[in-house]
Amino acid sequence: MRVFAVVSGVFLLLASGCAGDAQPDHQAEWRSVLQHKPAATASDATPVHKQVYADSVRAFVQKHPNHGRAREVWERLQLGFADDLAALGRYQDAIRYYRAVLADHPDNEQARRGLALAADRLAVTREKLLGLEKGMSQRQVASVLGRPMPGWLAENRRPEATFEAWYYRTTSGGVAAVYFRDGKVFAAEESSQARLGRLGS
């Protein structure tokens, strides 16, 4: 019985040692992914550099979903993408990224705040439009209504001034417009029927 116990103990040690050796080492592969980070985070980084790094991290996470560090990096990248998309007025795309983060971490405060703000800016309310004032800058308007979605703005350059119009979906199902002369608000409409006809009027 004693001999059997000793042999059994030795067998267990050998088995655990083999199991440890069998565990995959992803560090070399992860270091290869991180080689793309300096170019992606440089001050002069191009969209291509950022995309290559993001695609590399995403592919690694899909292949090794239990790699904690990679998941943390991918989550930060997703939040960065979402914030950038929201700043460009691409709220639907931003919402998808925020929701992807929240699917894994429902308590992520940055994702929750970003999602709430992006959802709020999918359409503007009458109250927000009434909060606009003549002379506001485009930056001030964006802080109230958000940036218009891509394709929802127009510009008309004239010798005397440059006129711009920003268009927004409203919660009532219409289209509102905010008009700028040389970057300052001079008019707004709760319902705009002719999207280009009012420019410069």
Q: Where are the domains of the chain?
A: 2-120, 126-189
Q: What's the distance, CA 31 to chain centroid?
A: 25
**Cβ-contact 180, 186 below 8 angstroms:** yes
Cα separation, 74 vs 61, whole angstroms: 8
Which helix (DSSP H) or strand (DSSP E) does residue 66 occupy? none
Q: What are phi and psi of 154, to 5 degrees?
A: -145, 155
Q: What is the pLDDT of residue 167?
A: 94
Q: What is the pLDDT of residue 20?
A: 42
Please return the burial class of 143, using the count of CB atoms within 10 Å of its CB with bins 0-12, 13-18 and 19+: exposed
- Contacts with 33 (C-beta within 8 Å, 6 or more apart), sequence order: 53, 56, 57, 60, 70
Q: Is it true that 2-120 and 126-189 share their CATH fold? A: no
Q: What is the pLDDT of residue 177?
A: 93
* Separation in Å, CA 148 to CA 92, 157, 166, 167: 12, 19, 6, 6
- Which CATH code for domain 2-120? 1.25.40
CATH class of 126-189: alpha beta
Q: Which two tokens stand for residue 128?
A: 């927000």
Q: What is the pLDDT of residue 24?
A: 57
Name the residue among 102, 96, 82, 92 with its Cα closest to residue 123.
92
Can you give the pLDDT of all 201 residues of the chain as single tens digits?
Answer: 554 444 444 434 444 444 444 345 678 888 888 888 888 888 888 878 888 888 888 898 888 888 888 888 989 999 998 999 998 889 999 999 999 999 989 999 999 999 999 999 999 998 998 899 999 999 999 999 999 998 999 999 999 999 999 999 999 888 999 999 999 999 998 875 544 334 344
